[in-house]
């Protein structure tokens, strides 16, 4: 079938490529002409594992192409996915829906035939009726335009897998057994036939799905990091404790990763947006736990700065500190709310000379934080370092032989903020090793 994807950032570009992979004819639409040109060349304007190869394959055949024209998109198909970004409002917790509603308003008057508008963007609960009302106000065929909700659950660096082989498929509609449901079932027929659990529900439940999932994951991460604080004070090992808890089937080990905490463009934004919407609905007391989840997460960054100060005898001024990691997680170039860069920036402001290295995110980091120093090679980056901080768990870093590094440093000291370095191996190589939540 033919379909469009409105908004071709991280979510939209990935969804467009994966829909082409499923055999559909896809037109991606984005108002940024430079982004459209890059995508039409078969490349993504960001790093996501295997996405460039998929884009190149399907743009070459013509099954996938991109445009900056709403009119062309509206005329191309009768199924339109909206994947426009909804960032956090500056200085507030709530989502900024400016670009999202702008996309709806620009698409609506150009829809001439019966159509389904399926929203993938993460928004506060209660947005679906507003989308319906805008479409009914501006679309010439308003009585034949249905709104569906299809939340995404993408993990950066696993986005293709999560789109083509999701843990679950959520479809939200205003009424039961609507035409929109038939259209989306046809779109996702290969995914559904593969056995993917498919939950058909109402708009509000579908809207809450993504925010609720991210809030629970954030809570799980912050819980084990709160326990890590107790472990540091008592001499216990948070890694082993997480394994012990994880063997309980009611708890599970996945997602419970002690360390520096979470960042990126989803978890921090979504728990804050969830809290903001709960307040608007008058049920903010129900989500007070998320305030502490956010506070614990931010406290991990302060704890890393405190550990660095301790390792340098209380004096950061003029010290050479190397930071392994700029991306908020491995296998991406995304630096949004990066814990690693937050720590690096804080150390710089306290007088340290900070050098950052990362396999993918250095260009983005240089633009956002030009005050820091950057080196491409993680081995060269430790030259004359007084302290090494391991803050993004790229597998490349764990595979580096610490014996090769020790002689390059001024003093072989490392703090493992992600718990993935082999502490015994590093100590055998002459390093002083500290790790969050471990003796």
What totals of helices (H) and strands (E) does the chain contain, helices first? 18, 14
3-state class (DSSP) for residue 147: strand
Cβ-in-10-Å burial (0-12, 13-18, 19+) of 333 comes to buried
Q: Which residues contact 437 (CB under 8 A, 6 or more apart)?
A: 225, 227, 228, 229, 231, 232, 237, 238, 239, 258, 259, 419
User: Are 297 and 240 in contact, with CB atoms under 8 Å apart?
Assistant: no
Q: How far apart are the first and last CA of the chain?
A: 57
Q: Are 389 and 321 in contact (CB under 8 A)?
A: yes
266 is catalytic: yes
**Alpha-carbon torsion angle 421, 424, 425, 427, nearest 10:** 100
Identify whether the C-beta of residue 52 lies closer than 8 Å to the C-beta of residue 59: no
Q: Active site residue: 8, 187, 231, 266, which one?
A: 266
CA distance 243 to 252: 9
**Strand order across the beta sheet in which 353-357 lies:** 373-374, 353-357, 320-324, 387-390, 413-416, 432-435
What's the CA gap between 42 and 198, in Å, rounded?
31
Question: Buried (b) or exposed (e) across 27-63, using 16+ Cβ within 10 A?
Answer: bbbbbeeebbebbeebbbbbbbeebeebbeebbeeeb
CA nearest to 3, candidates 187, 245, 159, 172: 187
Find the radius of gyration of the CA atoms of the chain: 24
Active site residues: 266
């Amino acid at each position: 079938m033919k379909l469009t994807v409105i908004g071709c950032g991280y979510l939209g570009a990935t969804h467009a490529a994966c829909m082409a992979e499923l055999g559909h004819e896809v037109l991606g639409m984005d108002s940024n002409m430079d982004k459209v040109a890059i995508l039409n060349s078969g490349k993504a304007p960001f790093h996501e594992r295997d996405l460039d190869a998929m884009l190149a394959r399907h743009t070459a055949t013509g099954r996938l192409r991109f445009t900056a024209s709403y009119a062309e998109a509206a005329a191309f198909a009768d199924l339109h996915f909206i994947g426009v970004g909804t960032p956090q409002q500056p200085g507030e917790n709530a989502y900024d829906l400016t670009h999202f509603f702008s996309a709806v308003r620009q698409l609506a008057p150009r829809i001439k035939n019966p159509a389904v508008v399926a929203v993938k963007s993460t928004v506060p609960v209660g947005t679906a009726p507003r989308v319906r009302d805008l479409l009914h106000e501006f679309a010439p065929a308003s009585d034949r335009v249905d709104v569906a909700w299809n939340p995404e659950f993408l993990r950066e660096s696993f986005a293709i897998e999560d789109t083509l082989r999701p843990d679950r498929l959520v479809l939200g509609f205003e009424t039961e057994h609507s035409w929109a449901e038939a259209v989306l079932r046809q779109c996702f027929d290969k995914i559904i036939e593969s056995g993917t659990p498919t939950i058909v529900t109402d708009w509000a439940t579908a809207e809450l799905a993504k925010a609720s999932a991210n809030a629970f994951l954030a809570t799980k991460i912050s819980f084990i990091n709160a326990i890590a604080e107790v472990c540091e004070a008592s001499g216990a090992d948070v890694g082993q404790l997480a394994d012990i808890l994880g063997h309980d089937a009611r708890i599970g080990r996945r997602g419970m990763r002690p360390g520096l905490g979470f960042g990126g463009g989803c978890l921090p934004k979504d728990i804050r947006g969830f809290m903001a919407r709960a307040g608007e609905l008058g049920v903010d007391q129900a989500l007070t736990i998320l305030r502490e989840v956010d506070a614990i997460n931010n406290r991990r960054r302060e704890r890393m700065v405190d550990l660095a100060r301790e390792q340098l005898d209380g004096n950061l001024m003029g010290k050479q500190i190397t930071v392994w990691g700029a991306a908020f997680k491995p296998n991406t170039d995304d630096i949004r709310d990066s814990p690693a860069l937050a720590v690096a920036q804080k150390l710089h402001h306290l007088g340290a000379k900070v050098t950052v290295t990362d396999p993918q995110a250095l260009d983005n980091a240089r633009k956002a934080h030009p005050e820091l120093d950057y080196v491409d090679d993680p081995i060269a980056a430790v030259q004359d370092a007084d302290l090494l901080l391991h803050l993004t768990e790229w597998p490349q870093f764990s595979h580096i032989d610490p014996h090769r590094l020790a002689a390059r440093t001024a003093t072989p000291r490392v703090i493992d903020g992600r718990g993935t370095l082999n502490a015994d191996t590093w100590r055998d190589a002459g390093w002083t090793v500290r790790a969050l939540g471990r003796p």
